[in-house]
Amino acid sequence: MAIEKLLEVITRNMLTVLEKDRSMLQQIPNKGPAAVAVPQQDTANAKATRDYTKLLIPLSVVAAVLVLVGVSSQRWDRWMAGADTQTTDNAYIRAELSRLSARVSGNVSAINVGDFDHVKAGAVLVEIDPADYLAKQAQAKAALDAAIGQLANLENQKTLQKAAISQAEAQSAVAKGQCRSREERG
């Protein structure tokens, strides 16, 4: 679009120059064929040259613009890579975007941040539905209570076994005493 405007301005300027040349030629007084000794062939050549010049300047401008566009498009990468400062409008630094992973699995019940929000370290990003974990916690507590109950039963059995051992020792002592007394009688 800018090239078209440039060509239009150049063409207008050239036409203005050509019109001035014509007006200057018309102002020269005509004193007959003897006063101006310009051969007919030279005026025809001059007219052909002017027509050729009319086309030559716009065509040379178009050719120069095309060469400039071609060279710059071929060398664009080298030119940009050689620049002191390179900028972009749509890039992200890797530190601003981080991958997330959870230590536990489960269904997400709430999302506390939106896309591309800035967050601080330790902020809660999502909440996982605790139903599965509460059920596992209740199951583990029931298993703990069962183990505590078994330990209490074993303690009670230990007490019963000690009592049984004491009773057996007492019965053994009684039997030994009876045995001795019969040996002495007998």
Closest CA to 133 of 114, 97, 155, 109: 109
What's the confidence (pLDDT) of residue 119?
86
Question: The pTM is what?
Answer: 0.34
Separation CA 61–CA 3 (nearest Å): 10
Structure tokens given for 135 = 């059920």
What's the confidence (pLDDT) of residue 94?
58
Structure tokens given for 169 = 């020792």
Extended beta strands in the chain, E state = 108-111, 126-128
Question: Sorting pLDDT into bands at 50, 70 and 90, what band is 57?
Answer: confident
**Cβ neighbours of residue 86 closer than 8 Å, sequence gap 6 or more:** 80
Q: Are 146 and 165 a contacting pair, CB within 8 Å?
A: no
Total length of the chain: 186
SS3 content of the chain, % helix, strand, coil (to 5): 70, 5, 30
Q: Are 110 and 128 a contacting pair, CB within 8 Å?
A: no
pLDDT digits (tens, 9 = 90+) for 80-132: 667 677 677 776 665 656 677 778 888 889 999 988 888 888 888 889 998 98
